[in-house]
Structure 1
């Protein structure tokens, strides 16, 4: 299904990189959830898991944010399809667990935007899935 987006190129980048990843890294759960429609879904393709609706996505992020001392997303390579309200980003995810251990993942996210929020998110990651 194709969705209509109200965002231009800069708006799509801002939504994905600043509003979403910036708030994930800051562990600002409410601001992260504001990026999603109520009936959105987030699928980790490489782990065969899907989180549906804001409540399912909220629970996933509560566990994820609570499980790591620090979360950093960096070194983005972004591709935008402004006409169709889609954006993709490849990046490094750096996670520090409570004991100081570090995990580095090379990930790619694909977003489908409806109006000005995420309707569908597809995540591909290089290692074990921390988004359970």
Structure 2
């Protein structure tokens, strides 16, 4: 299904990097959830896991944020389809647990935007899925 979006190229990048990833890294749950429609879904393709609706997505992020002392997403390469409201981003995720252990993942996310929020997110991870 194709969704309509009101966002231009710079606004799509801002949604993914500044409104979403920056708030995930800051563990600002409310701001992260504001990026999603009520009936949105996140699928971790490499782990066969799907989280549906704001409550399912909220539970996933609460668990994720509580599991790590620090969360850093960096070194982004973004590809934007402005006409169709789609974003692809490859990046490094650096997670440090409460025991000081660091996990590095090389991930790619694909977003489908409806209006000005995420409707669908597809995630490919290089290692074990921390978004359970």
Report if TM-score (shorter chain) is over 0.5. Answer: yes
Q: What is the Cα deviation at residue 68 of structure 1?
A: 0.1
Residue pairs, 1:70-109, within 5 angstroms: 70-109=70-109
How many residue pairs get aligned? The number is 132
**Separation (CA, whole Å) in 1 of partners of 2:108 and 2:129:** 13
Unaligned runs of 5+ in 2: none
**Separation (CA, whole Å) in 2 of partners of 1:131 and 1:77:** 22
**Separation (CA, whole Å) in 2 of partners of 1:22 and 1:7:** 19
Matched residue, 1:27: 27
What does the per-residue CA deviation read over 1:3-42, in whole Å, with 9 as the maximum and x for residues that have no partner? 0010000000000000000000000000000000000000
Q: Secondary structure at the match of 1:84?
A: coil
**Separation (CA, whole Å) in 2 of partners of 1:79 and 1:30:** 26
**Separation (CA, whole Å) in 2 of partners of 1:77 and 1:11:** 16
Residue pairs, 1:45-124, within 5 angstroms: 45-124=45-124
Unaligned runs of 5+ in 1: none
**Separation (CA, whole Å) in 1 of partners of 2:64 and 2:6:** 30
- Please give the TM-score of this superposition, normalised by the length of structure 1: 1.00
What does the per-residue CA deviation read over 1:82-130, in whole Å, with 9 as the maximum and x for residues that have no partner? 0000000000000000000000000000000000000000000000000
**Separation (CA, whole Å) in 2 of partners of 1:6 and 1:22:** 22
Superposed CA RMSD in Å reads 0.2
- Please give the TM-score of this superposition, normalised by the length of structure 2: 1.00
**Separation (CA, whole Å) in 1 of partners of 2:46 and 2:17:** 21
